[in-house]
């Protein structure tokens, strides 16, 4: 007999609102219904009310963890639009900050995965050394989490020559500890027992759901924006894409852990090749037109689209975060697991709901999902925001 | 299977010898890295209350308010709304606002977060509306060099500042008249005065 076990809307583990309905037969999960949309914040509407330079700080706050990837994708989109050439040193600095952020995000995930398994030692280890990483980001960018580094045409801060020994020192420590913990985690019988063969997302399913990032690479799909469509310094430095075709949770953990080591290698290569020079191109005006930016965030590809009418604000700004694709794949991955494993499977895609949220409405326990209703609701939200932020509709009307 | 346990043992022994990894904050200070984007502070003597920071702030943490009764203009920084992006620091023409390396933000009431700079506001001699702060107009006059003499408001201010000359004339007719162009005027009244002189209305 089928029964439904609800997880959420306030998740017992991850501090984000999402709602999973696990359909179970005894201990076994036979189906999953996903409801997201508790966290709609109207970023795409607020963005056209800010200037090109101000919008960077808004998109930075789409996600607290990939807080470099979103501005990075946004500035890439604007540079694509305005055909701006970014100085070489700025490209290297962008790569360094992006890779540091990737290590910090993967450490966070591995730590949390340990915590979800009840293996708090792993959690403490990884978060202990993640602290060194945050200190390093603070030294380079001036902030621990919202780096405010990206600027249209370059970066806001240079990496000071006198900071390089400190960076090298932290990198050495990180490399040593990551290697140690990677081996410790991968050899641990408890972790292997919990992760191996659990939450299988086959390669066909991965392609069918269009998953991105480590989720795809753990299922044998070799996609990575850094290789496929290289931006910044990714095509200038040597690095390997980590792909495993075991398709289980263990493969995803391996991808993330080994990517950390790969990132340390990339940062070293960037520091070596970096030569003194400008960090900011001359940007005067953003011409009318449209542009896209694709960046490999720790969770997968972040996509930004901007359209300009030649004024000092974007008229349309569209964001697609990787979790939007990845979360849906849980339906395939979670089938056949036990309830205890399901929690881990749902967390395995490293979901980030605040990046992802579009909108969904529940009324009397029923989903009000039809398109027309959503459009009406969207118009209502727009009205509310309009009273708060003023009216950019006149600008939009000219383009529609 | 034994080897991984040994490796973990090394880490455990190190933790045992070194004690807790955390810092006993706030008893032991934990300074931020140099260049940290911390609490913002104004330098009152440098600030000219031009409002450039209020223009660029993406979070609306700056507020420009005029007090017509006291003839002052005030720029308020709402610390609790600040997102520490550093745009105002980058755009301030006088480098009068900057990040400190302080990060202890706890306050008991919300009012304690506000810091402000207040400067004298010059009023239009005809309509009594605000023009700009004295220091901002002087800055414009000095930056413009000899071009400042194209605008009597700026020229008078410059002379007042250099020579201490009192230029205020008694008000003549109730309407704007040609002699009024030698006064401190807001842009609207200045246009009115010149149109009066050229076309007589």
Domain with B144 in it: 124-162+176-201
My answer on whether B58 and B132 are in the same domain is no
Residues of chain B contacting A143 with CB distance shorter than 8 Å: 36-37, 84
Nearest to A58 by CA among A132, A129, A150: A150
Tokens 């009000």 locate to A368
Residues B104 and B68 occupy one common structural domain: yes
Q: Give the model confidence (pLDDT) of A64-94 as tens digits.
A: 888 899 999 999 999 999 999 999 999 999 9
Nearest CB among A143, A184, A189 relative to B84 is that of A143
Lowest mean pLDDT among A178-182, A264-268, B72-76: A178-182
Residues B69 and B131 reside in one and the same domain? no
Q: CA A297, A298, A302 angle in degrees (round to 5)?
A: 25
Give CA–CA dist B183/A283, Å, rounded: 40
Specify whether B106 is located in the same domain as B129: no
Residue A354 assigned as binding residue? no
Residues B98 and B138 in one domain: no
In a shared domain, residues B101 and B45: yes
Distance, in Å, from the CA atom of A346 to the CA atom of A337, rounded to the nearest integer, reads: 11
**What is the per-residue pLDDT for A92?**
93
Residue B169 lies in a domain: no
Q: Are residues B82 and B129 in the same domain?
A: no
Cβ-defined contact of A183 to B21 (cutoff 8 Å): no
**How many distinct structural domains can be found in chain B?**
2
CB contact under 8 A, A183 and B4: yes
Residues B86 and B113 in one domain: yes
In this structure, the answer to whether residues B184 and B194 fall within a common structural domain is yes
* pTM of the model as a whole: 0.86
B99 touches chain A (CB under 8 A): yes
Q: How many CB pairs under 8 A join A and B?
A: 57
Q: Which of B3, B21, B36 lies at the smallest CB-CB distance from A138?
A: B36
B113 and B134 co-located in one domain: no
Residue B89 lies in a domain: yes
Q: Are A21 and A33 in contact (CB under 8 A)?
A: yes
pLDDT at B111: 83
The verdict on residue B102 lying in a domain is: yes
B117-142 pLDDT, tens digit each: 999 998 888 888 888 998 898 889 88
Average pLDDT over residues A34-55: 83
Tokens of B197: 């002189």
Q: Which CATH superfamily is domain A43-325 in?
A: Cytochrome-c3 Hydrogenase, chain B (1.10.645.10)
**CA dihedral sign of residues A116, A119, A120, A122:** negative
- Domain contains B141: yes
Q: Could you tell me how far CA A397 lies from the centroid of its own chain?
A: 32
Q: Contacts of residue B33 in chain A, CB cutoff 8 Å?
A: 135, 138-139, 142
> B106: distance to nearest CA of chain A, Å?
18
Nearest residue on chain B to A166, judged by CA atoms? Answer: B33
Same domain, B155 and B96: no
Q: Is the interface score ipTM higher than 0.90?
A: no
Phi, psi of B194 (to 5 degrees): -70, -40
Q: What is the pLDDT of residues B47-90, one digit of tens each?
A: 999 889 999 999 989 999 998 888 899 999 998 889 988 899 99
Phi-psi region of A197 (alpha: psi -120 to 50; beta: other; left: phi over 0): left
Q: Cα dist. A90→A41, A138, A140, A275 in Å?
A: 31, 18, 13, 10
Given A121, A148, A187, which is nearest B85 (Cβ)? A148
Residue A130, token pair as written in the block: 């993640």
If pLDDT is split at 50, 70 and 90, which confidence band does B199 have?
Answer: confident
Strand partners, A35: A19
| Helix H or strand E segment including A93 | helix A88-117
Integer Cα distance of A360 and A367 in angstroms: 8
Using CA atoms, how far residue A190 sits from A186, A249, A334, in Å, is: 10, 14, 20
Name the residue facing B33 among A50, A125, A135 (closest C-beta). Answer: A135
Indicate if B101 and B135 belong to the same structural domain.
no
Is the pLDDT at A397 greater than 70? The verdict is no
**C-alpha to C-alpha distances, A270 to A93, A96, A267, nearest whole angstrom:** 8, 7, 5
């Amino acid at each position: 007999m089928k029964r439904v076990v609800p997880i959420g809307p306030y998740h017992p583990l991850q501090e984000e609102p999402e709602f999973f309905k696990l359909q179970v037969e005894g201990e076994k999960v036979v189906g999953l219904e996903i409801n997201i949309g508790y966290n709609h914040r109207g970023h795409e509407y607020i963005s056209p009310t800010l200037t090109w330079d101000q919008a960077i700080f808004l998109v930075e706050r789409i996600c607290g963890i990939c807080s470099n990837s979103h501005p990075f994708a946004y500035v890439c989109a604007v540079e694509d639009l305005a055909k701006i050439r970014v100085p070489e040193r700025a490209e290297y600095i962008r790569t360094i900050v992006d890779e540091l952020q990737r290590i910090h995000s993967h450490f966070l995930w591995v730590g949390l995965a340990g915590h979800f398994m009840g293996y708090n030692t792993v959690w403490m280890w990884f978060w202990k050394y993640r602290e060194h990483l945050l200190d390093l980001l603070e030294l380079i960018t001036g902030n621990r989490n919202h780096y405010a580094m990206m600027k249209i045409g370059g970066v806001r801060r240079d990496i000071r020559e006198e900071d390089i020994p400190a960076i090298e020192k932290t990198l050495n420590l990180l490399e040593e500890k990551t290697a140690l913990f990677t081996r410790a985690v991968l050899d641990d019988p408890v972790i292997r027992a919990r992760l191996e063969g659990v939450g299988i997302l086959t390669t066909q399913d991965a392609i069918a759901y269009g998953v991105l990032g480590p989720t795809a690479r753990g299922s044998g799909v070799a996609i990575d924006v850094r290789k496929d469509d290289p931006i910044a310094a990714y095509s200038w430095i040597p690095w390997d894409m980590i792909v495993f075709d075991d398709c289980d949770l263990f493969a995803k953990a391996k991808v993330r852990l080994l990517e950390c080591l790969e990132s340390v290698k990339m940062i070293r290569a960037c520091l070596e090749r970096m030569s003194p020079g400008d960090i900011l191109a001359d940007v005067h005006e953003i011409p009318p037109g449209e542009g896209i930016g694709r960046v490999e965030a720790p969770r997968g590809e972040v996509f930004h689209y901007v359209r300009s009418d030649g004024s000092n604000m974007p008229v349309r700004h569209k964001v697609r975060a990787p979790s939007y694709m990845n979360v849906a794949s849980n339906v395939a991955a979670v089938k056949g697991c036990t309830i205890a494993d399901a929690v881990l499977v749902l967390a395995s895609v490293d979901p980030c709901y605040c990046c992802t949220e579009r909108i969904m409405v529940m009324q009397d326990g029923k989903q009000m999902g039809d398109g027309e209703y959503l459009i009406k609701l969207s118009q209502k939200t727009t009205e509310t925001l309009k009273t708060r932020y003023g009216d950019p509709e006149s600008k939009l009307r000219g383009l529609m | 299977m034994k080897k991984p346990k040994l490796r973990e043992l090394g880490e455990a022994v190190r933790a045992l010898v070194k004690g807790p990894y955390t810092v006993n904050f706030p008893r032991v200070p934990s300074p931020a890295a140099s260049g940290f984007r911390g609490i913002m502070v104004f330098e009152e003597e440098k600030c000219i209350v031009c409002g450039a920071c209020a223009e660029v702030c993406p979070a609306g943490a700056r507020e420009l308010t005029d007090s017509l009764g006291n003839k002052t203009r005030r720029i308020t920084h709402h610390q609790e709304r600040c997102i520490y992006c550093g745009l105002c620091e980058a755009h301030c023409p006088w480098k009068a606002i900057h990040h400190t390396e302080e990060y202890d933000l706890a306050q008991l009431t919300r009012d304690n977060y506000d810091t402000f700079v207040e400067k004298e506001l010059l009023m239009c001699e005809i309509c009594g509306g605000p023009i700009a702060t004295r220091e901002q107009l002087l800055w414009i006059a000095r930056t413009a060099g000899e071009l400042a003499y194209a605008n009597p408001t700026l020229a008078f201010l410059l002379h007042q500042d250099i020579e201490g000359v009192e230029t205020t004339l008694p008000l003549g007719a109730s309407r704007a008249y040609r002699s009024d162009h030698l006064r401190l005027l807001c842009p609207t009244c200045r246009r009115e005065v010149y149109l009066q002189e050229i076309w007589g209305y």
